[in-house]
Amino acid sequence: MPSPIQSPIQSPIQSIDGFIDTYINYLVVEKGLADATIESYSNDLKKYAAFLNHFKIKQIADSDTTVILKYLIVLRDEGLSARSRARHLVTLRGFYKFLIQEKILKKDPTSIVDLPKIGMKLPDVLSIEEIKSIINAPDILKPKGLRDAAMFELLYAAGLRVSELINVKLQDINLEVGFVRTFGKGSKERIVPIGSHARDGIRDYLANARPVLMKLHTSKFLFVAHAGKPMTRQGFWKLLKKYTLLAGITKEITPHSFRHSFASHLLEGGADLRAVQMMLGHVDISTTQIYTHVARDHLKRLHEQYHPRG
């Protein structure tokens, strides 16, 4: 018997399809979400509509909590991971919240349904030596090499996201006091201290590389590419891959690896969890707590190495 979700919709559910179209339009026009996000939500809701059609549920008001639970069970039986099922439930929560907001429904059937247990995935963390080898990989005798080394220094020193790094403006950096101002998710501002290595690298870049890269152009951004154009996410990704290979590191590394390493190395050194939370810009400390698992592994190794009964 074919899966109730995978089977084609024989007769369109006009009212439910209409609500989905209205919601997707709302996400595009009012929320301005990225195309990839819109496509993901749309695909999830089409799958849900197919499920409702299979079980002859014609009115959105008839999709109660039991229906939601049954849908999640079908997703599980199809082999979807807990993470994928959680994403589907998040999509449905947004959809039903919209329907309540528009006074189409009075009750949210997803409100008492818990997210599937995803489990905690430990972040990929670089060793201090690996960080050093990547920072030292650029040729600092060349303007672009000075820029690249300074970018890596700041990325690691402040635990920035790559989107935050490329959007740092000249006015956001204070080399005398030693801090960078950045704007994270939701445009939330935070001030993060930076150490002497990052400050020296940025000073060197500003004095000897940025003027050459600017070529008489002007830019408000700290890090620039050719002819004063701002660095892009894709451009930084390419640079990181290049220098990772030059450093002789074979494991997969992303810009976020520097952020993970920043947090883990601070905790391994004894930093307070809430202080790390503030520097990372996490709203919920539970997001930061994932790094404590890495720190605990480090402490366990130290105990085994140095304790007389380890």
By annotation, the residues acting in catalysis are 161, 185, 256, 259, 282, 291
Q: Where are the alpha helices (DSSP H) in 78-216?
A: 82-101, 128-135, 143-158, 162-166, 196-208, 210-214
Which residue is listed with tokens 């599980």? 76
Cβ pair 192, 276 in contact under 8 A: no
DSSP state of 229: P
Instruction: Retrieve residue 179's tokens.
Output: 């801090």
**3-class DSSP assignment, residue 105:** coil
Q: Cα(29)–Cα(98) distance, rounded to whole angstroms?
A: 14
Which amino acid makes up residue 143?
Answer: P
Q: Cα(303)–Cα(100) distance, rounded to whole angstroms?
A: 54
In terms of phi and psi (left: phi > 0; alpha: psi -120 to 50; beta: otherwise), the region of 187 is left
* Backbone Cα Rg of the chain: 25
Q: Cα(70)–Cα(73) distance, rounded to whole angstroms?
A: 5
As separate numbers, helices (DSSP H) first and strands (DSSP E) second, the chain gives: 14, 3
Q: Cα(36)–Cα(34) distance, rounded to whole angstroms?
A: 5
Which residue is listed with tokens 């960080």? 131
Instruction: Retrieve residue 287's tokens.
Output: 């997001």
Instruction: Retrieve residue 273's tokens.
Output: 């969890």
**3-class DSSP assignment, residue 180:** strand
Task: Estimate the share of the chain in helix, then strand, then coil, as percent rounded to the nearest 5.
Answer: 60, 5, 35
Q: Which residues pair with 230 in a beta bridge?
A: 224
